[in-house]
Amino acid sequence: MKVIGLTGGIGSGKSTVAAMFAKLGVPVVDTDEIAHQLSLPPSDALDEIRQTFGGAFLQADGTLDRARMRALVFQDENARIRLNEIFHPRIRNAARQALLALAPFPYALLVVPLLFEANGFRSLVDRALVVDSPPDQQLERLAARPGLDRATAEGILRSQLAPSERIALADDVISNGGSLSELQRQVQACHAQYLEWANDL
């Protein structure tokens, strides 16, 4: 089985594209969902968060206080690095196990927002598919998310790879600047290409 790594900047439309692939019968492993599961108690990752950052970063129900943690890591580079050291190896291991269970399929989609930025994730995939979207549309989508103000959204965009850098590292690119039907057309074209490629190997 081959693995396509789906990535793109925040608010680029990765979830929409992943859902379109899923409707075509492609199994999808989403590292954001894995991270969410790791953020639920009981979790050794949360134990390490408590030891490293203090109990203030956990909510009353024991789950990670995402808003507080997000605010910290965008102000403190060392905190961001330490948080990634706690979560990324666990996310990689869980993703690897999930992909192994999908061996009968021609190919699977692994959704990794930081495919190029985070160590060790690029080696899990055979091809990298980037969803590219105009920055103004990314900000519009982010503004619609609860608990995320425009300043924070702009900060997140600035902290990520520039679109041109991400595209330069991609094997394939889907442009999400038009209609949903155009996006669907691109997904279907990629799906046909990936099926042919996976079945030829």
Report whether 16 belongs to an annotated binding site: yes
In the chain, what are the domains? 1-27+107-201 (3.40.50.300), 36-101 (no CATH)
Average pLDDT, whole number, for the chain? 92
142 — pLDDT class (breaks 50, 70, 90): confident
Report whether 12 belongs to an annotated binding site: yes
15 — pLDDT class (breaks 50, 70, 90): very high
Report whether 14 belongs to an annotated binding site: yes
Report whether 11 belongs to an annotated binding site: yes
Respond yes or no on whether the N-terminal peptide bond of residue 42 is cis (omega within 30° of 0).
yes
Binning the chain into helix, strand and coil, the percentages to the nearest 5 are: 55, 15, 30
What pLDDT digit, counting tens, does each position of 22-70 carry?
Answer: 999 999 999 999 999 998 999 999 999 999 999 999 999 999 998 899 8
pLDDT at 58: 94
CA atoms 53, 58, 62, 65: torsion sign: negative
Query: Could you give the dihedral angle defined by the CA atoms of residues 91, 108, 33 and 31, in that order, rounded to the nearest 10 degrees?
Result: 30
pLDDT at 16: 96
Instruction: Give the residues across from 109 on adjacent strands.
Output: 4, 28
What pLDDT digit, counting tens, does each position of 64-92 carry?
Answer: 998 899 889 888 889 999 999 999 999 99
